[in-house]
């Protein structure tokens, strides 16, 4: 399995200075999503992304609307979008419905619009699991979402004919 370091090395030759990316961050569980946002932002700054936009939503479900709005924004003309959120299991099954709906909707939006959208949505059972994935022992999934998006963008320019 490749590490984040390996993924960084694979992108070393790409120039992202003309690239425009938005990060959409759910503010629900903002102690977690702030860490995810910072991780994604650190990666984008490392690669000297030309334009970085930040938008927030109330919760994870609202990522769908915000992403759709930005995908079809003819003024911004974004090259890609990173969606970040955190849904923690509670006493009901709400987490399953939200996680599935967000994932399915953003996957469909990606296919319909042919726009690169990276999803960094933590779907965890406990706050401890969320912390472990927002800069803890399992790394920072915001960084991973940013790297995944950059790999999509790099692949677009690296086609072999």
pLDDT for residue 156: 76
Closest CA to 121 of 99, 104, 139: 99
Q: Name the stretches of the chain with pLDDT < 50.
A: 1, 5, 159-161
pLDDT for residue 7: 55
Rounded CA separation 62/56 (Å): 9
pLDDT for residue 1: 47
Which residues, in sequence order, are bridge partners of residue 134? 140
pLDDT for residue 120: 97
pLDDT for residue 61: 97
Rounded CA separation 34/84 (Å): 9
- Active-site residue list: 94
Residue 41 has a CB neighbour count (10 Å cut-off) of: 19
Q: What CATH number should be reported for the domain whose range is 17-156?
A: 3.40.50.960
pLDDT for residue 99: 96
pLDDT for residue 90: 87
Task: Break the chain into its structural domains and give their ranges.
Answer: 17-156
């Amino acid at each position: 399995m490749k590490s984040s370091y390996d993924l960084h090395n694979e992108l070393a030759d790409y120039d992202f200075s003309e690239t425009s990316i938005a990060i959409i961050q759910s503010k629900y569980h903002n102690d977690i999503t702030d860490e995810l946002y910072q991780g994604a932002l650190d990666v984008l700054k490392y690669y000297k992304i030309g334009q970085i936009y930040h938008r927030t939503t109330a919760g994870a479900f609202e990522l769908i609307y915000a992403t759709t709005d930005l995908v079809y924004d003819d003024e911004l003309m974004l090259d890609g979008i990173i969606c970040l959120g955190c849904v923690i299991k509670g006493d009901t099954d709400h987490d399953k419905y939200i996680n599935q709906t967000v994932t399915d909707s953003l996957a469909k939006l990606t296919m319909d619009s042919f726009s690169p959208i990276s999803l960094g949505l933590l779907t965890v059972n406990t706050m401890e699991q969320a912390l472990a994935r927002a800069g803890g022992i399992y790394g920072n999934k915001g960084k991973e979402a940013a790297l995944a998006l950059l790999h999509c963008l790099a692949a677009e320019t690296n086609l072999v004919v």
